[in-house]
Chain A
Amino acid sequence: MSDEKKLPLRTAFAVSVSKTAAALSRATGRGDGSVIGGRLGMMIDPDLLAHLAAGREIALVSGTNGKTTTTRFTAAALGVLGDVATNSFGANMPTGHTSALARAGATRYAVLEVDEHYLAQVIQATEPRVVALLNLSRDQLDRAKEVAMMADLWRQALAAHPKVHIVANADDPMVVYAAGAHPADEVTWFSAGQRWQDDSHVCPACGGHIQRGEAGGWACANGDLRRPSPQWTLLDGEVVAPDGVPHEVKLQLPGTVNLGNAATALAVAAKFGVNPIDAIPRLGSVASVAGRYAQVERDGRLVRLLLAKNPASWLEAFEMADVAPTLLAINARDPDGLDTSWLYDVDFSPLRGRQVLVSGDRAMDLAVRLEINGVPFTHVKTFADAVAAVPQGRLEVIANYTAFQDIRAELDRVL
């Protein structure tokens, strides 16, 4: 290391530049500032994230799906204790974390959503108190690490930090493997279900078969890996805490999936000393997350936006959506992944009987898929055409990442 004394000054300057750039980005309408500010700041002080994290009590949230929502819930729950810094725009790489911490100023707590590829790096930089591991499944495989490799990377990252407390999903064998080498008293297991199981038929420890049994149980045939007994569970629409007390959690966000995200957030917050009873009303006040689940009225249609970016999250979106006219929009630009073959990993048959519209850059891929799936549909060129094609009332919109952003822009950046 060079001259240590320089660091605080350099850090202060980096923070100032970072904030200014972020503010400029927002003021000029070029973005929400959550990436550019962090990028510039880190050019000036490469250890900026570590410096900004120092002295804070931090929770990290990572996984393939549900991390933005769970981060939002966790930040809401920790709000019981005081001010919380968080990257609420879903900018989940180190530049986004840096920006979020710089913008928030001095807070005692921080909750950061972390892209699963960056977990090792961000644990190293922020020395978190708790890391929540939600799930791992296929997601943009044309560029992402394969699922078993990701589980291995997580396992290695965590092995270097045995004092970090892990809150992990007992229902996902990949997550259990990733957390499995950790000291047992530093792991809290939750059960939020696993709708998508096609990436975890093979044991990541030994290559044996994972067999699934009654009531969500599973075990590797060779006995190396089995479902741990979860401390936090869902039962009849309620969240059951480790002491066995069930809590009614009234959410504005739809679906059992989000109830699972809420349970995870409560489990993380409990490690910071937050009582679920104090946190639950705050979770109920969350109405949308970076535009997701937002409801907007347009020409007499109540439009609700659901983001679905990989097979697991499509299954979740079908579970959340009302039985109502539904627009599906698919792109395959860089942020989405260029490959649309995952469409055949999703069973669209839950949509039979609903009026289905297809749109987006890759609507033709979707059209062929739906024809094979026996789901009648209509192709529309624009979002406005979709709105015009459905009767008054609910219109569910399920879109992948850039298609979602396009529609959000048409709706004037809702929320």
Chain B
Amino acid sequence: MSSDLNGGLQIVWVYPDLLSTYGDRGNMLILAHRARARGIPAQTIEVRSDQRLPDQGDIYLLGGGEDGPQALAAQRLLTDGGLARAAANRAVIFAVCAGYQLLGSTFFAKGDKCPGLDMIDISSDRGPSRAVGELAGDVDPTLGLPPLTGFENHGGRTHLGPGVKPLVRVTTGVGNDGVTEGAWSETILGTYAHGPALARNPALADLLLCWATGEQSLGPLDDTWPDRLRAERLTAVGR
């Protein structure tokens, strides 16, 4: 949430060289597409892990990753400090899967407990089995969104502290622990709905855009295809 969007909305994809395992580019493309369709100029910036992370972006995206790259990304982000400064500027952060875990206090990678960025009140460890499959549930009503639909693939379990609210009450899949899925606090939002989660959840994309622009609502778009996709996936899990 930057002051005035001079030069348009800046969407920063954090470390695509490390955190891009499941079509994570999709979230960046979808946000830019939906902003531009409303006449909001949007610039996408891909920042590799050997580059400095700008702290003046409007939206930061963190994707999924294998254990090694996840631990490396957390290390680099801690050293860089840019993401924490961006959060202090009330930038929007949308983090998926491994990216979601590393925003918390600790996470597990390759059997080791690793320090996270400690930017939201969560911690993650290993679950008894890998959670793979369709993920669905009802979103926190204060966010005013329709049900979440996504696909998850992770071995972690995430515990929420009092400083965050669960994003979703799970009806299909595992998410954090089989009961809740994802977490949010102010303008930071994390989910296990991996990869291009926003493809199936255009209203969530618009929420992030509202947070970033300070708008209360955005003009309607022709969502024929995303709506048909949502309907198909929610029907597939019996909703």
Least CB distance from B111 to A in Å reads 13
Q: A202 near B: Cβ within 8 Å?
A: yes
Q: A148-B68, A344-B196 are in contact. Are A138 and B21 (CB under 8 A)?
A: yes
Q: A202-B68, A344-B29 are in contact. Are A339 and B22 (CB under 8 A)?
A: yes
Establish whether residues A343 and B228, one from each chain, have CB atoms under 8 Å apart when the complex forms.
no
Q: B132 near A: Cβ within 8 Å?
A: yes
Docked complex Cα distance between A97 and B119 (Å) = 52
- B195: chain A residues within 8 A (beta carbon): 339, 341-342, 344
Establish whether residues B133 and A338, one from each chain, have CB atoms under 8 Å apart when the complex forms.
yes
Establish whether residues B66 and A146, one from each chain, have CB atoms under 8 Å apart when the complex forms.
yes
Q: How many residues of chain B have a CB within 8 Å of chain A?
A: 32
- A365: chain B residues within 8 A (beta carbon): 199, 229
Q: B72 near A: Cβ within 8 Å?
A: yes
Chain A 46-79: CB-based contact to B (< 8 A → 1; otherwise 0): 0000000000000000000000000000000000
Interface of A toward B, CB cutoff 8 Å: 138, 141-143, 146-149, 198, 201-202, 207, 209, 338-345, 364-365, 367-369, 371-373
Closest-by-CB residue of B relative to A338 is: B133
Establish whether residues A345 and B33, one from each chain, have CB atoms under 8 Å apart when the complex forms.
no
- B22: chain A residues within 8 A (beta carbon): 141, 339, 341-342
Taking A142-B133, A338-B133 as known contacts, 14 extra A-B pairs with beta carbons closer than 8 A to each other, sorted by chain A number, are A138-B21, A141-B153, A147-B66, A198-B20, A201-B18, A202-B17, A338-B151, A339-B153, A341-B151, A342-B23, A344-B196, A345-B25, A367-B228, A367-B229
Closest-by-CB residue of B relative to A201 is: B17
Q: Which of B24, B50, B194 contacts A209 (CB 8 A)?
A: B50
Establish whether residues B23 and A364, one from each chain, have CB atoms under 8 Å apart when the complex forms.
no
B:109-136 near A, CB below 8 Å: 132-133
Least CB distance from A346 to B in Å reads 9
Establish whether residues A371 and B66, one from each chain, have CB atoms under 8 Å apart when the complex forms.
no
Docked complex Cα distance between A209 and B50 (Å) = 8
Establish whether residues A343 and B23, one from each chain, have CB atoms under 8 Å apart when the complex forms.
yes
Establish whether residues A142 and B23, one from each chain, have CB atoms under 8 Å apart when the complex forms.
no
- B133: chain A residues within 8 A (beta carbon): 142, 338
Docked complex Cα distance between A338 and B150 (Å) = 12
